[in-house]
Amino acid sequence: MESVTLPDYLCEGLDVVFVGAAASLWSAGAGHYYAGPNNRLYALLHRAHFTSDQFDSSEDYKLLALGIGLTGLKKTVASSANHLLPPATVAEKAELHRKLRLTRPRWICYNGRDVYQMVHGEPSCGWAEQAPTDYGTRVFVAISSSARADRWGEERLQQYRELFTLIHDE
């Protein structure tokens, strides 16, 4: 693991904030979210109609203009896999919740059940929509955009499309 800090792409009024566990080693090196050559986030966002063009990780900051935010639980470390990360601290969880409560996105999407569990200390009820936060933000858990989750390729894309529909049918 190495030390890294990616900026939060957060502001008030976002449609959705995608929350990851920590930057990958690729992302840490590039200084951009989901920069690994096999990470599918930007392709999923495009194929699910969040973006009209497929973005490159170097354009991660442009997602804010489309109502999409990016952040992570562990802001100061990078890792090659979430299972190698140390458990989330109370301070890390509190800081994430503070930022999300302050910016109040309409939706939070956890990029994998493991991320949801790290943040909430309990497993999700499965994929898709979860119980909302105590401050009214709706919560969704999607299959990770990592290439390690490619065995769920079509199902994963359907989840992103479902999230898009939920956001835009409100």
pLDDT tens digits for range 39-87 = 999 999 999 999 999 999 999 999 999 999 999 999 887 777 767 777 8
- Which domain CATH number covers 144? 3.40.470.10
pLDDT in tens, the chain (170 residues): 556 679 999 999 999 999 998 888 888 889 999 999 889 999 999 999 999 999 999 999 999 999 999 999 998 877 777 677 778 899 999 999 999 999 999 999 999 999 999 999 887 678 899 999 999 999 999 998 875 655 556 888 999 999 999 999 86
Query: Domain range spanning residue 155?
Result: 2-168
Long-range contacts of 131-136 (CB under 8 A, 24+ apart): 133/100, 133/101, 133/108, 135/101, 135/104, 136/104
Beta bridge partner(s), residue 69: 17
- pLDDT (0 to 100) of residue 153: 66
- Output the pLDDT for position 159: 95
How many domains, in total, are found in the chain?
Answer: 1
Cross-strand pairs, 17? 69, 108
pTM for the model: 0.93
Q: What are phi and psi of 48, to 5 degrees?
A: -95, 5
Strand partners, 139: 108, 130
Q: Strand 107-111's sheet: what is its strand order?
A: 2-3, 68-79, 16-24, 107-111, 138-142, 128-130
pLDDT in the model for residue 45: 97
Nearest to 148 by CA among 39, 35, 22: 39
Please report how the helices 113-120 and 90-103 are oriented relative to each other, as an axis angle in degrees rounded to 10: 100
In this structure, what is the dihedral angle of CA atoms 121, 11, 136, 152, given to the nearest 10 degrees?
Answer: -50
